[in-house]
Structure 1
Amino acid sequence: MIFNFTRKVYLDNNATTLISSAVTKAMNKVLKTHFGNPSSHHTLGYKAANLIAQARSIIASSIQANHKNIFFTSSASEANNQVIHSIVSDFEARQQTLKIITSPIEHMSIIATLKALEKRGVIVEYLTIDHHGHIDIEAAKQQIDAETGLVCCMLANNEIGSIQNIQALAKIAEQQGAFILSDCVQALGKIDINVNQLNIDYATFSAHKVHGPKGIGAIYVKDGAPLTRLIQGGDQESGFRAGTESVHNIVGFGQACKAIPYLLKQSSITLSLKEKLKQEVIKFNKNVTFNAEQSETLSNTLSMRIPSVDKHSLMAFLDYYDTSISSDSACCSTNHSASHVLKAIGLTDKQANETVRISLSAQTKMKDIQYLVKKLSHFFAAYNHNITLLGPNSIDYNFLNDDNNYILDIRGKYERLLMKSIPNSHEHHFLNYQEVVNTLNKEANLILICTSGMKSMLFAYQLSHSGFQNIKVLTGGLMAWKKAHAKLYHDLAGTNVIKIDE
């Protein structure tokens, strides 16, 4: 495979961050020497329990909370679920109808949970937001009433970076006797968080957004706010979450939170790098627009829309040069519908498909931004010079039976087990690049297919670099084609398939 990378640039920090060396060191020590079960009544168990207590205090201190109000979970998604279901249980016990009001740009762990609860009779309403992604506080005063049990609103959005006036929203909720949950995952380490000043009842957090490990989250629960078990089976976490604690992950979370003062200090530097990136991009493409940037946003987050440019094409081009960005939330990356956040701020499906997210961290350097700008300038100068994007509707029965089309399915073995290939395609694994090049005619009319369209775009740029002239990519991949041609997939998928790599 031909890769000519000169610099690795990671700019998808809102999806996850690189774990810090201090966190890795602390976790390794726990794994090697503090392996006791925190619930066991012996020295090893007591030491493990003490490490959890220390981490709890550190995390509490980072948000100005009491350690008794912090409870560990496996993730912020679990934490959001536990809070919402706790409110539901509380209202069900009192045989009261529950109304939950939320913003339309929440994380899917909240949006999807609320949609499921609507089937159980929970009333769900959505707050009004402007085209910058900010809650209309005046409208919220009219909407949040005495019938409201819970208000859900994230402190900072993960896709466009908009920061909400949670303090004002919490005051409205308190006046109406409603609880308020704020997903603070993206805000932690980027803006100062004081749960007492915000006056929120619940806040949720995740370690892997602040250079900590994946698989560990936390809930802040204000005194008097209801909390019920989501997982049964043990008395861990003061009886609110069963299951042996993941001591090394909890210690890693605590160690990561020790660096929050440093991360907050670095936010001004991160902001200057983001502003530099915006200025440079506008120089060579004046049509670029930036979502939510006209108001208060996170210093590290840039949502950028480039008219007439397919986001998958740009992401694959940059990935070819070892530069990682994203289009929307990683939790929604397998869903090929337009981002609910971008739709909520008024973008059309087409505009959402032209939008990418660039998210920096305290570790991002000026050289990273300069490298990205250089690659972006190359992309704009030669966009789609010999790569054509095919919509899933265009690959119909006639297209499949056209002998001039060479359909190349580059999915891996296990992907093929999950979904059958398009009929008349040639299966060859994505990673066996040189073998593919050796078997293909450079004049052939190539149609590249993968599961989602992303690998196909990356592969297309490699082939273009090797001199292939007629390259087409199925946008949305097999998932989109199967949806567009359900009957064709049912009747013919997997037939007349040539397995080149076996």
Structure 2
Amino acid sequence: MYLDNSATTQVSEEVFKEMEPFFTEEFGNPSTLYGIGRESKKALDLARKRVADAINAKPEEIIFTSGGSESDNLAIKGIAFKLKNKGNHIITTNIEHPAVKNTLGFLETLDFKVTYLPVYENGIIKIEDLKEAITDETILITIMHGNNEIGTIQPIEEIGKIAREKGIKFHTDAVQTFGKVDIDVEKLNVDLLAISSHKINGPKGVGALYIKKGTRLTPLIHGGGQERGIRGGTENVPGIVGFGKACELAAAQLDEHYEKLSSIRDEIIEKVLTTIPEAYLNGDAETRLPNLANFRFKAIEGESLILLLDAKGYQASTGSACSSNTLEASPVLTALGLDPVDVHGSLRLSLAPESENFDVDEFVNILAESVARLRQMSPLWNQELDYDGVMCKKHGDDCRKC
């Protein structure tokens, strides 16, 4: 069972079928004037309309990119460079995706100033902090819609109203929320919104940036004037066609999938927290994505848990990042004020529509066995043994007091 759909999703059969002709028969360049090129241009226009319809935008407000990271870069750098004569201050949060956080880090080397708003135990900012951070030099607010790691959803509509009242451009990374919750760019009060294909059962390497009519930004890629001169380079027609179809399907099935996924998510949360001692849910319990739950388990190491689950046929992910010579606690979980030691014992489970036949009881039993096995080997867990090496005689095996 694949439980890492926040990382990427399987391309649906309907999407693949719609893409297939554009690898072979319909291979024309959409910028050409002859028949086969015009057919590609028609397919591009249809896909653009499908993307726009899915977020209540106009087709001319959609720019195709290579994915969410490029869309974020284009939005943030494009606005920063365009408005640098008006100010150099940008506001964000301390739990943004690396595509935003690292882009802002780059801009800081160019003398832009960035304020990183804190999130609290529930993973959500306080509007008062945002208002206090705004200065006369603020040109951009960039705050993600839904967090890719813990699933909490920020108050984007309220943030957008504040930005609009102050005349500040507002960008949100909606890569994780798109296709899972209703997104209406007019209601959200956003000027720029980034989305990605491979999170909604579309192909990898394709994304889009919504740019509200009247918003001007500096291009990052210069070429033959494609995408209204904002993003040069011959368009990835097969990928864009697939993305458009995936958007159409996601929009049509949004309510149905929301109900199914949130029901499974809630069942997982309830059973994990009641079955496994010292298990905790990370992020807000209510204001969260319907398909994502992030847990932490005391006294275990996340990567080891992932490997044990993988051996049992479950693919999931952890909040800690591991490499051959470093083990860094998740910045997102650390930002919640959690103990860095506990942060390393995290597990992210993210569902997709095809998860509806998921056997929650079987999974939770295997998860509980895996956690117990790791705790048997954990010096942190075994610190709770009493001086002569046996479990606490006063409180029993489940003692967490002595």
Flag whether TM exceeds 0.5 (same fold): yes
* Aligned counterpart for 1:352 among listed residues 328, 334, 343: 343
State whether structure 2 residue 71 is matched by structure 1 residue 79: yes
What corresponds to 1:24 in structure 2? 16
For residues 306 and 190 of structure 1, what CA distance do their matches in structure 2 show?
Answer: 27
1:225-256 CA-partner distances (Å, limit 9, x unpaired): 12221111211101111111100000000010
Query: How far off its partner does 1:333 sit?
Result: 6.4
* Aligned counterpart for 1:148 among listed residues 97, 116, 138: 138
Native 8 Å contact 2:18 2:242 kept in 1: yes
What corresponds to 1:281 in structure 2? 272
Name the amino acid aligned to 1:292. Answer: G
For residues 291 and 182 of structure 1, what CA distance do their matches in structure 2 show?
Answer: 22
Which range is displaced more, 109-118 or 344-353? Answer: 344-353
What corresponds to 2:387 in structure 1? none
Give me the CA root mean square deviation: 1.8
State whether structure 2 residue 147 is matched by structure 1 residue 157: yes
What corresponds to 1:53 in structure 2? 45
Native 8 Å contact 2:319 2:343 kept in 1: no
1:115-142 CA-partner distances (Å, limit 9, x unpaired): 1111110000012321111110122122
What corresponds to 2:258 in structure 1? 267
Which range is displaced more, 102-111 or 342-351? Answer: 342-351
Native 8 Å contact 1:202 1:221 kept in 2: yes
State whether structure 2 residue 192 is matched by structure 1 residue 198: no
Following superposition of structure 1 onto structure 2, how do residues 311-460 of structure 1 map, counting pairs within 5 Å? 311-328=302-319, 336-383=327-374
Following superposition of structure 1 onto structure 2, how do residues 294-309 of structure 1 map, counting pairs within 5 Å? 294-309=285-300
What corresponds to 1:251 in structure 2? 241
State whether structure 2 residue 27 is matched by structure 1 residue 35: yes
Name the amino acid aligned to 1:19. Answer: V
What corresponds to 2:222 in structure 1? 232
Q: Which has the higher contact order (CA 8 A, sep 6+)?
A: 2
For residues 60 and 333 of structure 1, what CA distance do their matches in structure 2 show?
Answer: 38
For residues 208 and 167 of structure 1, what CA distance do their matches in structure 2 show?
Answer: 25
* Aligned counterpart for 2:61 among listed residues 45, 61, 69: 69
Secondary structure of residue in 1 paired with 2:221: coil
Query: How far off its partner does 1:87 sit?
Result: 1.5
Native 8 Å contact 1:146 1:178 kept in 2: no
For residues 306 and 379 of structure 1, what CA distance do their matches in structure 2 show?
Answer: 11
For residues 284 and 196 of structure 1, what CA distance do their matches in structure 2 show?
Answer: 43
Secondary structure of residue in 2 paired with 1:125: strand
Name the amino acid aligned to 2:23. Answer: L
Secondary structure of residue in 1 paired with 2:37: helix
- Aligned residues between the structures: 377
Native 8 Å contact 1:173 1:179 kept in 2: yes
For residues 375 and 201 of structure 1, what CA distance do their matches in structure 2 show?
Answer: 45
Native 8 Å contact 1:101 1:152 kept in 2: yes
Following superposition of structure 1 onto structure 2, how do residues 486-497 of structure 1 map, counting pairs within 5 Å? none
Secondary structure of residue in 2 paired with 1:169: helix
Following superposition of structure 1 onto structure 2, how do residues 83-102 of structure 1 map, counting pairs within 5 Å? 83-92=75-84, 94=85, 96-102=86-92
Native 8 Å contact 1:17 1:210 kept in 2: yes
1:87-140 CA-partner distances (Å, limit 9, x unpaired): 122123x3x441000011111011011111111100000123211111101221
What corresponds to 1:104 in structure 2? 94
Query: How far off its partner does 1:366 sit?
Result: 4.1
Query: How far off its partner does 1:312 sit?
Result: 1.0
TM-score relative to the length of structure 1: 0.72
- Unmatched 5+ stretches in structure 2: 380-402
For residues 155 and 333 of structure 1, what CA distance do their matches in structure 2 show?
Answer: 26
What corresponds to 2:209 in structure 1? 219
Following superposition of structure 1 onto structure 2, how do residues 102-181 of structure 1 map, counting pairs within 5 Å? 102-181=92-171
What corresponds to 2:391 in structure 1? none
For residues 90 and 27 of structure 2, what CA distance do their matches in structure 1 show?
Answer: 42
Query: How far off its partner does 1:374 sit?
Result: 2.7
Which range is displaced more, 219-228 or 66-75? Answer: 219-228
Native 8 Å contact 2:322 2:328 kept in 1: no
Following superposition of structure 1 onto structure 2, how do residues 181-196 of structure 1 map, counting pairs within 5 Å? 181-196=171-186
Query: How far off its partner does 1:388 sit?
Result: 7.3
1:344-395 CA-partner distances (Å, limit 9, x unpaired): 111232121011111111111343423321311321343365x679xxxxxx
